[in-house]
Amino acid sequence: MYALTHMKYHDNVEIPIRIPVDVRHGPELFRFPFDVCLSSTGLRNSYLFRRALLTYPYSRHLLLAIKKWGRSSGIINSIDGLLASYALTVMMIHFLALVGKIPPLNSLCNTEEIQTLDIIPQYLPLPGLEENKSKEVGYLFALFLEYYGSVFNYKDSVVCTSNMDLQKTTMNWDKGPNVTMRPPFFEFCIKDPYGLDNVARNLNHDATLYVQDSHQLALQALLKDFNDPLFAFSNLIQYPPKPRRVTQSLAERGIHSDVLPTDQLEARHVLKKMQFHDRKRSMESFGLRTMMNKENQNAASRVTKNVLGWIKSDEPSH
């Protein structure tokens, strides 16, 4: 994005695109978040997850709900030593395989070379949710919260998409307390499907407790308004209960720089956090406006059809 906003020439050829330096004030198209992946593993993971999630038609509905809650509750906040959005995807796939909604991913692993995969996967819109299926997704959402709030063994187990009983000892991740206080941590372990990395390696003990407690509090909030599940879910997404978490500086989290002094590093981190949350609010606002525009277009289309139908029916017959 920085290159797009600053590049004017390439090989002495002028590029006639002028995007404001601050992309927040530029075209809304440039507010879409995207990842640049330089490893084939990331692309293979995407295809593997897609294949797995399509085996249960309503998995994407569930994932959207989980990620929406994850962002609101603050557990999706990798910049502050919590989870990335990708980690919640792995957690949900592990959970769905555990409850039998999808097969474990070892039976779906893609052995094809990366160059043989489709450049543009076929787009499949979300299927509609009938009332009984909506209840099923809601039940799975609550069960997901209960599993990671009270059932999953953070001390000994690993979230894995192929082996539901994988233990830290098997991965040599039973490291004990991290006396250096610097990542990687092994308090919460999530195995990457194609690699040997711990996706949750940035979570120390306090961050792991925050994730677990967030799931527990969310489930309690749902059960509190059990008689009105729609209100309970909507309220949880917008105003989720959050555990108390002591704010730690980068130095306290074991993060240092060989170039910048500690105070400058902290100041830059605070600025990046402000920019990150500003972009997130901007993207959410853009998404809401897009949905409203779509609804308005659909409403206008229905009105137009009704008016044309009325005019046609009112025409005198010859």
Residue range 71-112, pLDDT digits in tens: 999 999 888 889 999 999 999 999 999 999 999 987 555 555
- pLDDT number for residue 48: 86
- pLDDT number for residue 13: 54
- pLDDT number for residue 307: 57
Of residues 25 and 268, the one with the higher pLDDT is: 268
- Residues 115-131 have pLDDT tens digits of 677 777 777 888 888 87
What's the burial of 289, exposed, middle or buried (CB within 10 Å: 0-12/13-18/19+)?
Answer: exposed
Of residues 306 and 207, the one with the higher pLDDT is: 207
- pLDDT number for residue 227: 79
Whether residue 198 contacts residue 70, with contact meaning beta carbons closer than 8 Å, is answered with no
In three-state form (DSSP H/G/I as H, E/B as E, the rest C), the secondary structure along 16-61 is CCCCCCCHHHCCHHHHCCCCCCCCHHHHHHHHHHHHHHCCCCCHHH
To the nearest whole percent, how much of the chain has pLDDT over 70? Answer: 67
The answer for residues whose C-beta is within 8 angstroms of residue 92's C-beta and 6 or more apart is 59, 62, 63, 66, 144
d(CA 133, CA 141): 12
- pLDDT number for residue 6: 52
Q: Which sequence spans correspond to the domains of the chain? A: 1-36, 40-116+131-247, 257-313
pLDDT exceeds 70 at position 2: no
pLDDT exceeds 80 at position 271: no
What number is the average pLDDT over the span 54-71?
93
d(CA 318, CA 311): 15
The answer for residues whose C-beta is within 8 angstroms of residue 217's C-beta and 6 or more apart is 240, 241, 242, 243
- pLDDT number for residue 1: 45
The CATH number corresponding to 40-116+131-247 among 3.40.50.2000, 3.90.1150.10, 1.10.1410.10, 3.40.50.300 equals: 1.10.1410.10
Residue 257: pLDDT band (50, 70, 90) is: confident
> Mean of the per-residue pLDDT values for the chain?
79
pLDDT exceeds 50 at position 19: no
Whether residue 187 contacts residue 205, with contact meaning beta carbons closer than 8 Å, is answered with yes
Question: Whats the size of the chain, residue-wise?
Answer: 318
